[in-house]
Amino acid sequence: MFWKLAADLVVVIHLLWIIFIMFGALIGRRVTWVKWLHVGALTFSICLQLFDWICPLTYLEVWLRQRHDPALGYAGDFLAHYAERLVYLQAPREAVLIATLAVVGLSAWAYWPRERPM
């Protein structure tokens, strides 16, 4: 039971990480350390897409699920089931790369210095 709960927790953390990647610039504009964490996350996301890597959180979740039951197909609870569908969205690789680049572009625009009106 511990392994299944740990795997479900990893899925929730993964979803929160994706939300941070998408919207972190909103906080990063005001908080410097969040900005640099967000820029690092964006850079890592681009590397994942360009080099066709798999996120370490995915490996961790699979490992935890195998510890629970090596033959287990996904049959988790409501929250984990829908969070997992969002995290592991089945989309063409090119579409995911384009979406990643769009998030990076929007974040760059959000971080771009602007002149303040007097």
Cβ atoms 75, 4 nearer than 8 A: no
Domain range for residue 38? 2-111
What is the pTM (predicted TM-score) of this model? 0.74
Residue 12 lies in a domain: yes
Q: Which of 93, 18, 87 is nearest to 51 (CA)?
A: 93
Counted residue by residue, the chain has a size of: 118
Within a domain: residue 36? yes
Mind listing the pLDDT tens digit for each residue in 74-111? 544 444 555 667 666 677 888 888 888 999 999 999 99
Look at residue 116 and tell me if it is in a domain: no
Evaluate whether residue 72 is within a structural domain. yes
Tell whether 96 is covered by a domain.
Answer: yes
Residue 118 maps to a domain: no
CA distance 43 to 41: 5
Cα–Cα distance for residue pair 8/61, rounded to 1 Å: 8
Structural domain count of the chain: 1
